[in-house]
Amino acid sequence: NYRPELCENVSRKKKMSEEFEANTMDSLIDMPFATVDIQDDCGITDEPQINLKRSQENEWVKSDQVKKRKKKRKDYQPNYFLSIPITNKEIIKGIKILQNAIIQQDERLAKAMVSDGSFHITLLVMQLLNEDEVNIGIDALLELKPFIEELLQGKHLTLPFQGIGTFGNQVGFVKLAEGDHVNSLLEIAETANRTFQEKGILVGESRSFKPHLTFMKLSKSLWLRKNGVKKIDPDLYEKFISHRFGEEILYRIDLCSMLKKKQSNGYYHCESSIVIGKKPIGIRDLINEALHRETMGLKSKVKQIKELLLKPETQAKIRRELFEGRLINNSNSANDVDFSTTLT
């Protein structure tokens, strides 16, 4: 028998399911990684076909393994990542020019732009659920350093950026130019993946790694979708399609939080870092480094003085000396009066 109310319920549930799926996709795209395979990281995997000729026992084992894997992946929601920060001012300036050029054509897209302090390459994403796991992640990062330095053999890894690309016209990024450096970076990513997995940390799939530098993403603002901005029009960045933005030398890798409050400069909250090799130093860098050391030295001395002044024994000594000084002054005043009196 035809029951219209049942059809309405099914239709309503289907619509709610579609809305939930869209919202889930939005939240994933909004993460600082856009290349992670969504199916893998959410546990939405196709269950493998089981050979009907296999024994019932093998089918049970296989089914149990699939269920465990799906459950593990279903609970997986990355909240930390390894970041290569972009510090080259030439690259940052070029991206800001690109962003402004896009905004001039469509002011609404200002809401989609990534702040210059956040520019980075995501090397690996992972899930760290508590402080203990964060500490394990820090240990894994520190263990990664000698592997990378052995791989590079004392040489600098230069990362040149050229051209523009998108992920589904939803995320805009500056491309990493082709070359041997891509293979080196992929090898570093695979080493990081292996190192963190060996520590028992749940990480993203290394095969989905595609190095990129995100400069805009529509999911940053729901307002955009509500106002009809559903994709990034390629015409907006046409003039930059083969633009050379500059080169970044791999110097630092950070373990960053996706969820904790960002730093004052716009960069992500950083739990720990490793330095790879030595950063090329120019005259300005030397001056800045000298000023930084001088400032840090002064800050340290001021801190020591404050701590000393806050100690009870120091405060008691100051009060005692002030009191004794007051007594001496009073005594001297009295003597002065007596002396003048005798003179008269």
Q: Is the pLDDT of residue 293 over 80?
A: no
Model confidence pLDDT, tens digit, residues 194-209? 999 999 999 987 667 8
Asked if residue 291 has pLDDT above 80, the reply is no
Per-residue pLDDT, 99: 96
What does the DSSP assignment read for 85-154? E---HHHHHHHHHHHHHHHHH-GGGGGGBPPGGG-EEEEEEEE--SHHHHHHHHHHHHHHHHHHHHHHTT
Rounded to two decimals, what is the model's pTM? 0.62
Which comes out higher in pLDDT, residue 321 or 126?
A: 126
Q: What are the structural domain ranges in the chain?
A: 80-278, 281-316
Higher pLDDT, 297 or 13: 297
CA-closest candidate to residue 188, choices 83, 39, 37, 78: 83
56 vs 322, which has greater pLDDT? 322
pLDDT of residue 292: 56
Percent of the chain clearing pLDDT 70 (strictly above): 66
* Measured distance CA(126)–CA(298) in Å, rounded: 39
Per-residue pLDDT tens over the stretch 165-174: 999 999 999 9
Q: Give the range among 36-45, 102-111, 219-228 with minimum mean pLDDT.
A: 36-45
* Predicted local confidence at residue 279, as pLDDT: 61
pLDDT at position 119 over 80: yes
- pLDDT above 80 (res 286): no
Reply yes or no on whether the pLDDT at 325 is more than 60.
yes
Query: Distance (Å, rounded) from C-alpha 44 to C-alpha 42?
Result: 5
Q: DSSP letter for 221, please.
A: -
Does residue 111 surpass a pLDDT of 60?
Answer: yes
Report whether 196 contacts 123 (CB < 8 A): no
Average pLDDT over every residue of 242-248: 95
Q: What's the pLDDT at 296?
A: 61
Q: What is the pLDDT of residues 19-47, one digit of tens each?
A: 444 444 444 444 444 434 323 333 323 33
Res. 13: pLDDT tops 90: no
Where is average pLDDT lowest: 12-21, 103-112, 283-292?
A: 12-21
Distances (CA, A) of 290 to 182, 279, 302: 35, 15, 18
Q: pLDDT at position 287, please?
A: 66
Beta-bridge mates of residue 125: 81
Looking at residue 318, its pLDDT comes to: 87
Read off the tokens for 304: 């020591």
The tens digit of pLDDT for each residue in 128-145 reads: 999 999 999 999 999 999
pLDDT of residue 193 exceeding 80: yes
- Mean pLDDT for all residues in the chain: 78
CATH topology for the 80-278 domain: Cyclic Phosphodiesterase; Chain: A, (3.90.1140)
* Rounded distance between C-alpha atoms, residue 21 and residue 120, angstroms: 28
What does the pLDDT look like over 51-90, one tens digit per residue? Answer: 444 445 555 544 554 454 444 556 778 999 999 999 999 9
User: DSSP secondary-structure letter at 258?
Assistant: S
Angstrom distances, CA of residue 222 to CA of 22, 23, 217, 227: 12, 10, 11, 9
